Structure 1
């Protein structure tokens, strides 16, 4: 490791999240929800130290902390749902992303004049305006939710009964609607999603560290007469994905390669291109990933960079043009751009 890179790693490690390491407050995001939903429904576990992995031009340049520890990754699990949707697309289970979900997954909450117009495209861009309750939690708890990665500002109080519009008319980062997407994918595959993810992603990518994707206490559902767990697309209310930084990096290398990893096409290039298309009404967002095309997300990252971001915070930074994959776990969200800037500076010096 060059001196420049070593100092960058040291800087990243100094940017540790204020979250506790043992899940005692301050920890998590569920406490910000309106009662009685400001609680955990799924299991959680303590975190490791600031950890990460840096690949550049397919070379492992640095690793720090505990890169092989399976840690909760919160909303990076959303991006993993997008990968599963891409697998369904590649396998012909989703012939067209603009197909209404109700046509393929009847009886799970997409009925009604307005809801029946919700498509896979809407769910993947978080513009569905879906209304209902999923896994025992009403989506209203995440209405008016606003993240610092968005441009503009909130126009209401989180959890208020905002009037809903037509599908595709408003972007809203809503974890209950994400869980509804996960439920729809479960009914589409008719197999537990963690099994599908293991077979079609983790195994061919050579992921070998501990991994789990677990649900809520009330997450069991009937799929074709079989009892299956519908897993959440994050750890907002507990559960979710626990994965190592090193295995996240392997997934990132596949994404950097437009779906290809070590000569094997894991996902189609077409799907990766679809994932990176900006949402019309939220150009900083694609298919469950954050885009940086105008530099508004992280000013010191290249415009070709895109990100999977989870609370805590967990960052998967992918840049196909730069041939870069950087995983940063348990850093202070407010210092993310500072960490990115240091990585960019170290690569410039070493190059």
Structure 2
């Protein structure tokens, strides 16, 4: 399966795209058909810089977040011919009340205060709650932001299962030779998965001088290899495996590793290993670093609410589809649990997944894929609950007015 590279017509490209040299790109008839059918295809959108600076008013933010594949060239993650069924759960969630920081809240407070634009709650693989706000529908694709990191890390697991990668203890430079002689010399895939490479990095979305914004500028240049050139230029700040430092660039390094190992685009590999076998209902999109280039490992996947829910179900089922393991034995537990640095210090981070934070969710072995501005895929394997939220929070600061994990605990308790 060869995934489609999608671009938008001239009149619908934001002015930012003019600087990306996109006018020479076209789209096949199938891509045009998808665009025509997409319910939000003709809405006005802002720029990617506005997303990262947090300078859009709510209406423009919503229309932009559900059209992010119009900001950059994107490759299609293709759905198959059948959809994994999600029937209605016998007990529908009506309201949830909970206390956080000595204040009482309910479901409606959480949705309003955390700018939730859609939410899905699955119990035992069945829909216990589902809402769409601000014109979103079941066909709406929404940005994942850093949830994409969890998907990229999952493809590393799939590549290990398939024998393309030997183990997480392989060296990054075995797969990305251009990083030889840089601070990534001697860094293992495990180090990168834990964001503990020791490479110096500043992850500040709103600071134009940060490394994160430099990575965004590399993406905006749409120059092949620009992102890896940036990563190769970063100096070493600590020995590999000794310090955790959140670094979106690490996810791009992993994308390069997967692409080199499997010899196909990440979108194609995701289509082949998970998207179609799991029965995703709709095509998804994934940003590219350049026209027909490599996927952006740390962000840029846009998919529907239910398909993100199905991805959560895939993890809750221990990475198995129809009884067949897609991931190595024990991968889900290892990837979603707290890891350990070289000195034995525990790290509240997995393989680009966030382990549980509260007493109840820790007991249940819960974990999350989290993206800025309100994106969540929460999985509680003990209670067989998956919760997905789309958010349109105004600033990319991982700052919420109401704790999502406190709300998720309350939902799980209400369904128990």
Superposition TM-score, scaled by structure 1 size: 0.71
2:137 corresponds to 1:70: no
2:339 alignment partner, one of 279, 283, 286: 279
Distance 1:287 1:308 in 2: 10
CA offset at residue 142 of structure 1? 4.6
8 A contact 1:75–1:309 mirrored in 2:
yes
- Once the two structures are superposed, the pairs formed by residues 1-351 of structure 1 within 5 Å of their partners are 5-8=93-96, 11-12=106-107, 14-16=109-111, 50-65=117-132, 66-107=137-178, 109-112=179-182, 114-130=183-199, 141-142=211-212, 164-215=237-288, 219-220=289-290, 228-235=292-299, 240-281=300-341, 282-292=346-356, 297-299=357-359, 301-303=361-363, 304-330=365-391, 333-335=400-402, 336-348=404-416
Structure 1 residues 278 and 345: alpha-carbon distance in aligned structure 2, compared to 1, 3 A threshold: closer
CA offset at residue 241 of structure 1? 0.4
Structure 1 residues 56 and 269: alpha-carbon distance in aligned structure 2, compared to 1, 3 A threshold: farther
Aligned length: 280
CA offset at residue 189 of structure 1? 1.9
8 A contact 2:156–2:258 mirrored in 1:
yes
8 A contact 1:13–1:50 mirrored in 2:
no
CA offset at residue 85 of structure 1? 0.3
Deviations 1:288-332 (A, max 9, x none): 10112xxxx245534310111011111111122221211122176
Q: Structure 2: 5+ residue runs without aligned partners?
A: 1-88, 98-104, 202-207, 214-233, 394-399
Distance 1:105 1:342 in 2: 44
Structure 1 residues 232 and 105: alpha-carbon distance in aligned structure 2, compared to 1, 3 A threshold: same
Structure 1 residues 234 and 334: alpha-carbon distance in aligned structure 2, compared to 1, 3 A threshold: farther
Structure 1 residues 2 and 91: alpha-carbon distance in aligned structure 2, compared to 1, 3 A threshold: closer
Deviations 1:166-196 (A, max 9, x none): 1111101111222122122222222111111
Larger-gyration structure (1/2): 2
Query: Which secondary structure state, in structure 2, belongs to the residue aligned with residue 7 of structure 1?
Result: coil
CA offset at residue 16 of structure 1? 4.2
CA offset at residue 123 of structure 1? 0.8
CA offset at residue 7 of structure 1? 1.4
Distance 2:323 2:338 in 1: 28
Superposition TM-score, scaled by structure 2 size: 0.60
8 A contact 1:12–1:331 mirrored in 2:
no
Q: Structure 1: 5+ residue runs without aligned partners?
A: 21-48, 133-137, 144-160, 221-226
Query: Which secondary structure state, in structure 1, belongs to the residue aligned with residue 295 of structure 2?
Result: coil
